[in-house]
Amino acid sequence: MFNIVVKKYGNPDNLIYEESESLVLDKNSVRIKVESAGVNFADLLIIKGRYQERPRPPFSPGLEISGVILEIGSNVSNLKVGDRVISIMKYGGYRTEVVVPKENTYLKPSKMDTLEAGGFPVIYGTAFSAIVTKAKLKKNEICVILGATGGVGMAAIEIAKAYGALVVACGGNDKKLNICVEKGADYTINYNDKIIRKELKSFGINAVDVVIDMVGGQANLDLVKSLKWNGRIIIVGFTSGTIPEIPVNRLLLKNARAEGLYWGELAYREPEEIGNDLSVLEQLYNNKKLNPSVNRVFELKDANKALNLLADRKNIGKIVLKC
């Protein structure tokens, strides 16, 4: 079995590709031959030791995979050898073979190819939990997505449109914002050279129902001021590097709420709910409401190049590793 290993916290160039012993299979887990592994922003943080989850080196990064079951534990009855599956994990996906608890392994959406499937659960699962479970987005509501130009953001655009919202996509790169329009965004705002509230007004939008925030910082604070009565802001990430301190009086005045989402942990605590979400997402995919196209594919041994591309913000959409 080959894997990418973090031996010391640091940058992608510190990652080591090497052969290791196969992992031991316990009675509640399945052994999977990995075909593709999704590359996520969180992988960049975890290899630096700067993520909520802080495994002690040596470890392999990687939150999601798609592949084929090679072996099942004696307590596993819902899955069988040969099933094509997707799995979610806290880390450890950058391998040619993984061992994952049965609860965190789901049948692969049957019409999705294996490369797409390896990059599907985290960004679509997160966007779904934020928009549907947490924000309870309703038809014709106005939904602003901060960080719409990233993986979670683009998935969020497609899901919000599928639920009938008017979508404003905010990002820092015009080329990526054009892709957001292709994904269905009604309006776009480049927050690097425009003031979000002023731009919203120029679209005739004085207040918004829902904000899905992957960026944090000043943009978050500006949008808290733009929430409507009963507005919702869902906190997903802080790619700007600044954790905003939301003035709670703003929430009180609008009868609004700010809510956090930690999807990776949720996937472990509530795997059945996540399975139900994935089934809804599969239906949306089959109805052509979602297009989880992969933008770049790298060989597993080149995981450092994939992560450097992500760190340099040169990716548009999803990157996966072929394992």
Ligand X SMILES: NC(=O)c1ccc[n+]([C@@H]2O[C@H](COP(=O)([O-])OP(=O)(O)OC[C@H]3O[C@@H](n4cnc5c(N)ncnc54)[C@H](OP(=O)(O)O)[C@@H]3O)[C@@H](O)[C@H]2O)c1
Stretch that binds ligand X, among 71-79, 118-126, 249-257, 289-297 (CB under 6 A): 118-126
Beta bridge partners of 79: none
Structure tokens at 200: 């919203």
Examine residue 58 and say whether the peptide bond preceding it is cis (omega within 30 degrees of 0): yes
Beta pairing class for 16-19 and 29-39:
unpaired
In the complex, the smallest distance separating the C-beta of residue 229 from ligand X, rounded to whole angstroms, is 26
Q: Is residue 231 a contact point for ligand X (CB under 6 A)?
A: no
Q: Is residue 133 a contact point for ligand X (CB under 6 A)?
A: no
List of residues 6+ apart from 201 with CB closer than 8 A: none
Beta bridge partners of 149: none
**What is the C-alpha separation between 134 and 273, in angstroms, rounded?**
13
Residue nearest to ligand X (CB): 150
**Which positions from 275 through 314 interact with ligand X, judged by CB under 6 A?**
310, 313
Stretch that binds ligand X, among 143-151, 196-204, 224-232, 292-300 (CB under 6 A): 143-151
> Which listed residue (62, 109, 150, 184) binds ligand X by CB under 6 A?
150
Q: Is residue 122 a contact point for ligand X (CB under 6 A)?
A: yes
> Which listed residue (108, 134, 161, 176) binds ligand X by CB under 6 A?
176
> Which listed residue (92, 93, 118, 171) binds ligand X by CB under 6 A?
171
30 vs 171 by CB, closer to ligand X:
171
**What is the C-alpha separation between 45 and 62, in angstroms, rounded?**
11
**What is the C-alpha separation between 165 and 158, in angstroms, rounded?**
10
List of residues 6+ apart from 234 with CB closer than 8 A: 130, 131, 134, 135, 210, 211, 212, 213, 258, 259, 260, 261
In the complex, the smallest distance separating the C-beta of residue 189 from ligand X, rounded to whole angstroms, is 11
26 vs 265 by CB, closer to ligand X:
265
Interacting residues with ligand X (CB under 6 A): 40-42, 122-123, 126, 147, 149-153, 171-173, 176, 214-215, 236-241, 261-264, 310, 313
